[in-house]
Structure formats: C-alpha cells, structure tokens
A and B are shown apart, each in its own frame.
Chain A
Amino acid sequence: MPLKNKNDATALFSLHQQYEANFVEFSGFQMPLHYAPGILNEHIHTRQKCSLFDVSHMGQIDLSGMDVVKQFEALIPTDINNLAENRSVYSVLTNQYGGVIDDLIITKRNNSLRLIVNAINKSKVVDYLKKSMIDVSINLLEEYSLIALQGPMSEKILSKIFKGHEKLVFMNGLPISFNNQDFFISRSGYTGEDGFEISLPNHAVLNFVSQLLAFDDVKLAGLGARDSLRIEAGLCLYGNELSATITPVKAKLSWLITRHSSNRFPGSEIIFNELLNEPNVTKIGVTSDEKFIPRKDTVINDVSGKKIGIVSSGCFSPILQKSIALAFVEYNHAHLGNEIYFDIRGKSRPGKVVSLPFISHKYIKTNKKAS
C-alpha cells in the first residue's frame, strides 16, 4: 500500500491506522480526530507530558527571489524586514477590506521565506501570492511533513535524539541534519504549551515519529485535542475566529500589527482606523458553570434577550472542568466580568466574560543558558 495518496492522506496515514485513529475529513485530508485514548485523555496528556501531532496537512510554502521580503511585507501588517535568520513571526494576509485571507507563520531562511499556512487555505494562498508578487518563485513543499511535539516534556524528549534545540526560544528555529536528511526544528506550536514543530521529508517521517513514540511519555494526539488545546490557549482558528470579514483588530490580534501607520498593505486604512477608534465587535473569552457546551454559532444575548453576538469556538475545558468559548460580541458588552446569555436549544443559559487565555501560555521566551 502506498504511504501517501496525494491530496488524501499524510505520509503517516498507516501509522494513524495502527494506533486506532478515528478519522475525520479535514480540507480533503483524512486526519486523525483522536486515537484509542480519546480526546480528553490526549488533551490532558499534552498539558502534563508530551504529545505528538501530525500536522502535515498544513501547507509549507517556500518563497524566494529578489526583494521577496519587501514584496511579501507589502501584503501583511507585520514588520519582517528586521526578522533575523531562522526566526519566525505569526501574521495574517489581509484583504482590501482588512479581513483575513489566511493566518500564517513566516520564517526567514537563507534569503527566502518559509510560510506555514492553513490546509483549508493552501491553494487560495498560492494563487493569491502568484498574483501579488513579481519574479518570486512560490513552491508548495508537498514532499515535506510537519510534526508538532507539544507539552512540558518536549525539550527533554527531543534531547534523546537531537542537540541544539534546547537553546531555542519561542519562535526561533534551527536547521538540523539528521541521518543526512534536512530537518528544520522550531520552538513553536498551537497548544499554549512549550513545544517544537519539525519540518522533515515525507520519506523520513515514519522512522522519526516511531523513534519518538518509543518513549513512554510521548503519545499521539489528534485534531480533537488540538482544537480544545488551542481554545484553552485562546488562539484563533481560521474559519472560526478569522475570516475574510473579520479584521485582526476584531480578533484581538492587534499585537501583530507592527508596521508603522504610514505603511500600506491591503486594508491598512480600515485596520489603522479600527486601532484608533475601537472596532464595533470584538473577540472575548467566556466561561459558564452550567452543564452545557456553547458550540460554534450559538447565539449570545444580553440580559434583555437582545442578540449581541455569536460563539466562534466552544468546548469543554478538560483542565478547568467547565465550558469555555471564544465569541464575538458588540464592543460595549466585551468588558471583563460582564454577564451574557447563550441561547441553548431555546433556553437562556448564563456565561461570564473572562480574560484570555483560559490557560496561561508556557512559551520559553528567554534563553536559560544566557540568563
């Protein structure tokens, strides 16, 4: 059986089957929703020890050519001109209305830019970049897999295989030659935990992942746990908290707008205006102590029953042991402590606006050896 059916499964499909994955179709890929232990156990294992996620469905794009940094910077609100080699930033490609085409990670490597984009937006982004940049070669790296190792034991586990990654700080990367294969390891992830993302050739991934899974503290985790982990961490998911009609300001991503207001990028006037004058709706975090889960698209009302917003992502938090949700509400209802009401199957159920993230981030931001 071939390991990879193009545009259908990742190079680890047979491994997922071997670990009794329950599959879900996600942007054309058969991906593991969870394995035998289930979403709750995989979630808790990630926060306590170390989980391995196959995120090879995401797009890895290489951009190279004259002025590639300058040309790409003209498409985003983030300053990347001073980005150091092997350093990464999180940003968004904006449209002319200030909405988001995709959110992505940008890494500076050997005078080129390496992007990690959402699976669901892969071809849209490639088409958009081809249209928007001149004399830049745009390569979707389909022969590369992407593995995320997340959780407090990640550094220690990787030390049994690599050297050098322990010096990395959050959003900093390192090219490594492993068995004569080119790996790129970055201290990053999307769970709120310390962890690493490793880009490596498809033909090397099964062997590498098997080495990691040989350690008792490393378990596989699927997209189900990945989603509840990123909700606890308050992080945005494209299609939920980000879309063509949601600006980065509304999604509480103003921190990534680092370009000066004299700079132009698609939708820059709208975005800089929102920064000055507060947007009409904004992202919030909400919890409830009642026994229901406010899922995506649940309507949110004020005390009088007037609609003030909508849930963008919701789940049961395995760590807090209660329901949590990310939502968009009218700006004057977004203050901390405000009581809001979910419409759950026709019944009004209370919730409260709380600060984000629900679970604090454990990113390593300073180099231990240097401090």
Chain B
Amino acid sequence: MRFSKEHEWVKLEGSDAKVGITNFAQLELGEIVFVDLPNIGDNFKVGDEIAVIESVKAASEIYAPVSGEIIEVNSILLDSPQLINEQPYEAGWIFKLALISIDAVNDLMDEDSYQSYINSKN
C-alpha cells in the first residue's frame, strides 16, 4: 500500500489501483454523510478532482493520486458513507483506476514515509 500527500491510500491490484482515504484523513473529517463518486469510464490525470466527501464538519475533495481511467466505484458508499469512517482501508475503499503507469504508484510514499509525513504536520 502507498500513500499520497492528500491522505489517500493506493493499493495495486494487478495493473489496477484501488483508492481510499487514510485513517488519519477520516479522523480529521469526522462523521462522513455523503460521498459523490466519479463515473465509470472517466479519465483523470494526477491531481484532478475525482470525488467529494462531505462530513458533518466540512466538504473535502479527493484528488487523483495517480492517472488512469475509472473502472469501478464503491457504490455501497452512496447508502453507507460511514464505512469510510469505520473501515477506511477495507469496506471504505472509494474507486478503482486502470493505471497508465504502475511506476506512478511506487513513486508515492510508503507507510513509514507517510507516518513521518503526518507526524511532521502535527
């Protein structure tokens, strides 16, 4: 699993990438009430706004951590957005991308680097 500076996690599944937000991110957001998901087939470049998460406290944009095409979205989140709070790395995944470059995932932070990145922000 790799991590972006925007607090997303990315997991390689073959040449696809599964994406969600980190435990740190869900704690910061608080209780999540809505998730606005992208459409299957949409293409995104790294840094593009790809989804929006609304919590009781604030709205938060999710940016594409890597470039690719949306091949699947976690539509269970439409009715059960709290899964992101409850299981951010499992049932709370948000979307899957068909990757343009596998290397782009490996260029993201590993767990240790992400942990020091969070620590440096606090």
Contact = CB atoms under 8 A, between A and B. Distances in A.
Contact of A291 (B31, B36, B57, B61): B36
A345 B59 CA distance: 10
Nearest to B56: A39
A38 B32 CA distance: 11
Nearest to B78: A291
A39 B58 CA distance: 13
A224 interface: yes
B31 A292 contact: no
Interface in A198-216: none
B28 to A, nearest CB: 11
B108 interface: no
Given A38-B30, A291-B78, A292-B36, A345 B56 contact: no
A206 B54 CA distance: 36
Contact of B56 (A291, A292, A316): A316
Contacts, number: 37
A293 B30 contact: no
Contacts of A40: 31, 33, 56
Interface string A57-72: 0000000000000000
A292 B34 contact: yes
Contact of A39 (B31, B35, B52, B78): B31
Interface in A27-42: 34, 38-40
A293 B31 contact: no
A292 B30 contact: no
Contacts of B57: 39, 224
Given A40-B56, A295-B59, A345-B52, A316 B36 contact: no
Contacts of A291: 34-36, 54, 78
Nearest to A316: B33
A92 B29 CA distance: 36
Contact of A38 (B31, B36, B52, B61): B31
A320 B63 CA distance: 30
Given A40-B56, A224-B56, A293 B36 contact: no
Interface residues of A, number: 13
Contacts of B33: 40, 293, 316
Contacts of A326: none
Contact of A316 (B34, B35, B52, B61): B34
Interface string A289-304: 0011101000000000
A293 B59 contact: yes
Contacts of A224: 56-57
Contact of B54 (A34, A228, A293): A293
A292 B59 contact: yes
Contacts of B78: 291
B24 to A, nearest CB: 15
Contacts of A34: 30
B59 A315 contact: no
Nearest to B58: A295
A228 B56 CA distance: 9
A99 B35 CA distance: 39
A228 B30 CA distance: 15
Nearest to A41: B31
Counting chain B CB atoms within 10 Å of each CB, which of A34, A38, A39, A291 scores highest? A291
A343 to B, nearest CB: 13
Contact of B52 (A228, A292, A295, A315): A292
Contacts of A345: 52, 59, 61
Nearest to B77: A291
Nearest to A321: B33
Nearest to B36: A291
Contacts of B59: 292-293, 295, 345
A40 B31 CA distance: 7
Interface of A: 34, 38-40, 224, 228, 291-293, 295, 315-316, 345
Interface of B: 30-31, 33-36, 52, 54, 56-57, 59, 61, 78
Given A224-B57, A316-B34, 10 more contacts: A34-B30, A39-B57, A40-B33, A291-B34, A291-B36, A292-B52, A292-B54, A292-B59, A315-B56, A316-B33
29 contacts: A34-B30, A38-B56, A39-B30, A39-B31, A39-B56, A39-B57, A40-B31, A40-B33, A40-B56, A224-B56, A228-B56, A291-B34, A291-B35, A291-B36, A291-B54, A291-B78, A292-B34, A292-B36, A292-B52, A292-B54, A292-B59, A293-B33, A293-B54, A293-B59, A295-B59, A316-B33, A316-B34, A316-B54, A345-B61
